[in-house]
Amino acid sequence: MVIRRAALLALASSVTPAMQSRAAELTTRSGSAPPSPLRMVMTEFPPYTSSSLADGGLATWITRTALAREGWEINLAVLPWARALNEARQGKCDGVIGLWRSPEREEFLSFTQPLGVTNRIGFMARAGTAIDVSELGRMRGLTIGVVRDYSNPPAIQKARLKLDPAMDDLHNLRKLLAGRIDLALIDKGVAFYLLQTQLLSGVSALAWLEPAVSESPLHSAFVGRSPQAQAGLAALNAGLTRIRNSGELAQMLQPFARWL
């Protein structure tokens, strides 16, 4: 995945006056320097995480803002999802922005409070397709496009469907348009964002199928149980509580309401 260098540098280096002010406040109050910037990874999962969006997408914006309220800064790397998770497993980063909680991931990650975003995960199909997605057990003859190393809903795993992995959601939608898969398992907000911004040919050619398979709150998470990870986790949770209670989080969600 090619990342525009300017966008990535902007994400990695953006320090707002509010962040500087908060860091100075903590330094004065504690008599010590503010904590070192956290190295966080994310993937292209717009509108929640993306190098092409202002502030890195909604989940990145929320995570950065909440940490800034507690005097922490972050440096960001944008990676394909499988690589991002692998870096977390190997302890090569401090945390991951924008992911769903699962027992397997809890083995190497400490999850934050929900970020205030709930993903509706379900199926996109070619327009006019008559597929009943309310009973997954009847769909075993279909090929379902998924993203490699995403934590798929338990119902999908139990149904033992034929899954065809791709690098990201955009590739899956393109495969669906080309007839290479029967359905794409995807977050509804991601699907419609991609169709309206990067895959205009699919706006009338693809359709969302109700009901959704599951709804999953979006989190950020920290790697391992090290003092740095636990301090970052505590800071982010405290910051999330702060911006939720102040009403700032609700204001941040408003511009993204059509995708949520």
Domains of the chain: 5-117+218-259 (3.40.190.10), 120-216 (3.40.190.10)
Q: Residue 134 to residues 56, 155, 194: CA-CA distances in angstroms?
A: 34, 11, 25
86-90 contacts: CB < 8 A, separation 24 or more? 87/41, 88/41, 88/221, 88/223
Predicted confidence (pLDDT) per residue in 158-201, tens digit: 999 999 999 999 999 999 999 999 999 999 999 999 999 999 99
Which DSSP symbol is given to 75?
E
Neighbours of 193 (CB within 10 A): 23
Tell me what percent of the residues of the chain surpass a pLDDT of 90: 80
The angle formed by the CA atoms of residues 206, 207 and 211, to the nearest 5 degrees, is: 150
- Residue 29 has a pLDDT of 38
Predicted confidence (pLDDT) per residue in 82-120, tens digit: 999 999 999 999 999 999 999 999 999 999 999 999 999
pTM, rounded to two decimals: 0.82
Which residue did the predictor score with more confidence, 222 or 227?
Answer: 222
Average pLDDT over residues 253-259: 88
Tokens matching residue 28 = 């004065």
Q: pLDDT band for position 18 (50/70/90)?
A: very low
Q: Measuring CA to CA, which residue among 51, 149, 37 is closest to residue 94? A: 37
- Residue 10 has a pLDDT of 43
Contact 197/258 with Cβ under 8 angstroms? Answer: no
Show Cβ contacts of residue 242 under 8 Å, excluding neighbours closer than 6 positions: 66, 69, 70
- Residue 34 has a pLDDT of 66
- Residue 74 has a pLDDT of 96
Average pLDDT over the chain reads 88
Conformational region of residue 145, where left means phi above 0, alpha means psi within -120 to 50, and beta covers everything else: beta
Conformational region of residue 141, where left means phi above 0, alpha means psi within -120 to 50, and beta covers everything else: alpha
- Residue 33 has a pLDDT of 62
Q: pLDDT band for position 60 (50/70/90)?
A: very high
